[in-house]
Amino acid sequence: MANNPLLVGALVTPLIGAVVALIFAKSNRLQRSLAVLTGLVAWVFSIALLAQVHDSGIQTYALGNWSPPYGILLVADSLGALFAFMVTTIMIGGLLYTFHSHDKCMTYPAFVPLFLLMEVGLVGAMFTGDLFTLFVFMELMVLASVSLTAISDDQYGLEAALKYILISSMGTLFLLLGIAAMYATFGTLNMAQIAQILLTGDRPFLAPASALMLLCAFLLKSAVFPFHFWQPDFHTTAPTPISAMLSSIVVKVGVYGILRLVTLLFVEDAPVLEPWLSVLGIIGIIFGSLGALRTYNAKRMLAYSTFAQIGFILVGIGWGGTLALIGAIVYAFNHAFIKSSLLMLIGIVASYTKIKTANFADISGIGRRLPSAVGWLVLLGGLSLAGVPPFNGFISKLALIQGGVESGDWGNLIMMVGAGILTLMYMIRAWQRIFQQNPLPGAAETKSEGDSYFAPMLMIFVCLLLGTILAEPLIQLVSATVEQIQDPNLYIEAVYPRGLGQ
Amino acid sequence: MIEFTFALAIGALFGIGVFQLLRRDLIKAAIGFAILFSAINLFFVAAGAFEGDFAPYVSNVEAQRQTSDPLVQALILTAIVVSFGSFSLVLGFVNIISRRYDTIDSNEINKLKH
């Protein structure tokens, strides 16, 4: 087994960046430049890795040259590499946003290091080959994002952060309990080895229980129906670039975990779990869309919308066919880009009020003071999120619907498409309120300048380019990914060849 | 016998931890969180520590004695570090919240509710 240094590069670069940024705590500008530079380097690593995985199969790195099952193993299969590419790309957008932002919290010396640590946690969770390291990286990500929300300019950020850390720690506890149960049953934590044992047909007593505990922890991380209540508060009160990251890529860690569970670890139990995922997804779509329709705050609307969009992805995973999985992954990919840029744009709108609020009562009609490009970008993003042709949202929805037709689950398919129309309703209504109306009496005072719209503009163009013009190669890439993850033997052979170490 | 005692202790700690975590008093909730983590650490110990009678040194392994599982202990060390980090973060938040809201009753910290 050859060690591929690109894996360590993508993981360690942001870590080094975080440490060096702490050394330059005095100069904000230097910190931010360093962060963007680090993000770019990690991005180059991840894109090179994606190309290599696509060309020559699964790449691994045994840390400290301890061969599995003893050491910590980093694995990039095509799913992990694709998600890591998504994470690093969107992180660059978030880091660029901090450059031209006037929020007070971004001048704190800990802001940039925490941001980069969040990236380490995210990339690490995508690349890790054993369950315990997954727990460590997820906890790193949670602690970094909670701290970032607690120092938010929004005065209720701390309350939301406390709420989330208690709930999320409960989820982490169950993840750890599931991992302990796995270890007690299988005597290993290496995902490939566990999958290998499970594939031989052995059903140890604790295996279904630990599958359920892991599933609940991942559902909590991606805010799916019974575990969603913290999400709108937490995503609304976070600082703008952080809420963009939370709502786009941090929730995708849960999606990634669920995909791993149903395609690698518990392939045999997947038919039992999948219908439940579909049901939870449909509930999420309907209630998330209704919540977004009637909420009072634009950022909160987008947070509810994330709750709904994760539902779409879960329905795709729940259908479980080849086309449905392709649809789910393409959807996850496109949603991350659109949602992060929309949240940044709403953050820009909010930054034009003196108290930085995104309440509709205060930001109605504020659009006339903003550069007109912001209005067009919000409209573009909203249409894309709703899945209007020819934008990328349409392509991901089409891929998902194809999966639904293939699985023949017409009831869920009709409910999903019907509830999807609500997305168009709330996005258009929000756009009208912000950019078309006259200001309401009693609205908050406005400022003449706010954050720059450079970063979200870049993101929207990248996502339109990737999702619309380059849709064909993207779908091909995802098809190759699904082909690879549907055969768990490929992963097992690459990571833990039979007979080795036994 | 020791495994049965362990199971009892883990169950009791889990119960106490969940009960404390659901208290209205935030400091008690934070301590319940620490108790829960100890319960899980004990569960990890129970998963591998009782297999052998000897410490997992190289000399013991070479002498072919039945050693206990060293990996669980390494895992617990990491889990303790992680849980300690989150626990101190929770306590820090509670500290600032108690100053900002003049209470640690979670029913009164409800400014986010509309």
Q: By the 8 A CB rule, do A43 and A89 touch?
A: yes
A177 and B CB contact within 8 Å: yes
Res A502: pLDDT: 40
| Chain centre distance of CA B38 | 3
- Distance from C-alpha of B114 to C-alpha of B112, rounded to nearest angstrom: 6
Measure B54 CA to nearest chain A CA, in Å.
Answer: 19
Q: Whole-number mean pLDDT of chain B?
A: 85
Question: Which pLDDT does position B109 carry in this prediction?
Answer: 81
Contact A169 B75 (CB under 8 A): no
- For residue A72, the one-letter residue type is I
Q: Of A7, A77, A62, A68, whose CA–CA distance to A196 is shortest?
A: A68
- Find the largest Cα–Cα distance for chain B: 68
Q: How far apart are CA A445 and CA A32, in angstroms?
A: 30
User: Would you list the domain boundaries of chain B?
Assistant: 2-101
At B22, the pLDDT band (50, 70, 90 cuts) reads: confident
Tokens 């005095």 label which residue?
Answer: A26
The range of the structural domain enclosing residue A323 comes to: 269-469
pLDDT tens digits, residue range A62-85? Answer: 888 777 767 788 888 889 999 999
Q: Please calculate the CA angle A323-A325-A327 and round it to the nearest 5 degrees.
A: 70
The contacts found for A274-280 with CB under 8 angstroms, 24 or more apart, are A274/A317, A274/A318, A274/A319, A274/A320, A275/A318, A276/A318, A277/A314, A277/A315, A277/A317, A277/A318, A278/A314, A278/A315, A278/A318, A278/A319, A278/A409, A278/A412, A279/A318, A280/A219, A280/A224, A280/A225, A280/A226, A280/A311, A280/A314
Check if CATH label 1.10.10.10 holds for domain B2-101.
no
Q: Are A123 and A376 in contact (CB under 8 A)?
A: no
Q: What is the pTM of this model?
A: 0.92
Q: With contacts defined as CB-CB under 8 Å, which chain B residues touch A237?
A: 112
Q: Tell me if chain B has a CB within 8 Å of the CB of A147.
A: yes
Crossing angle between the packed helical segments A251-260 and A207-221, to the nearest 10 degrees: 160
What's the total number of domains in chain A? 1
Distance (Å, whole) CA A381 – CA A387:
10
- Using the Cβ of A130 and the Cβ atoms of chain B, whether some distance falls under 8 Å is answered with no
Distance from CA of A39 to the nearest CA of B (A): 25
Does residue A493 lie in a domain region?
A: no
Structure tokens at B114: 């509309």
Q: What is the mean pLDDT of each run of 10 residues along chain A (502 residues)?
A: 82 92 87 90 92 87 77 87 91 87 83 92 91 91 92 86 89 89 85 84 80 91 86 89 90 91 84 87 90 89 91 90 89 90 88 82 80 85 85 86 85 84 89 84 74 78 77 86 85 71 42
Type of residue found at A292? A
CB B98 within 8 A of CB B83: no
Mean pLDDT (whole number) for B25-48: 88
Q: Residue A113: its pLDDT value, please?
A: 92
Give the closest residue to A92 by CA, choosing from A474, A391, A454.
A454
Does B96 touch chain A if contact means CB atoms closer than 8 Å? yes
Establish if A273 belongs to a structural domain: yes
CA atoms within a 13 Å half-sphere pointing along the CA-CB vector of A322: 9
Counting one residue from A and one from B, how many pairs have CB atoms under 8 Å apart?
76
Q: What are phi and psi of A77, to 5 degrees?
A: -90, 180
Distance CA A322, CA A316 (A): 10
Contact call for B47 and A184, based on CB within 8 A: yes
What is the C-alpha to C-alpha distance for residues A346 and A97, in angstroms, rounded to an integer? Answer: 13
Nearest to A203 by CA among A277, A272, A274, A128: A272
> How far, in Å, are A52, A155, A350, A437, A450 from residue A445 at the CA level?
53, 18, 11, 16, 13
Please name the member of B40, B85, B109 whose beta carbon is closest to the beta carbon of A173.
B40
How far is A190 from B9, CA to CA, in rounded Å? Answer: 29
- In single-letter form, the type of residue at position A310 comes to I
Residue of A nearest to B37 (CA): A173
Assess A150–B contact: CB distance below 8 Å, yes or no: yes
Q: Are A55 and A19 in contact (CB under 8 A)?
A: no
Query: What is the SS3 assignment for A125-170?
Result: HHHECEHHHHHHHHHHHHHHHHHHHHCCCCCCHHHHHHHHHHHHHH
Q: Which of A462, A336, A334 is nearest to A394 (CA)?
A: A334
Q: What is the pLDDT of residues A247-286, one digit of tens each?
A: 999 999 999 999 988 888 888 888 888 888 888 999 999 8
In this complex, is the C-beta atom of A146 within 8 Å of any C-beta atom belonging to chain B?
yes
CA distance A102 to A451: 6
What number of other Cβ atoms are within 10 A of residue A194's Cβ?
A: 26
Assess contact for A285 and A415: CB atoms under 8 A. Answer: yes
**Cα A478 to Cα A486: distance, rounded to the nearest angstrom:** 12
Alpha carbon A205 to its chain centroid, in Å, reads 33
CA distance A322 to A139: 32
Inform me whether the C-beta atom of residue B75 falls under 8 Å from chain A C-beta atoms.
yes
Quote the pLDDT of residue A500.
46
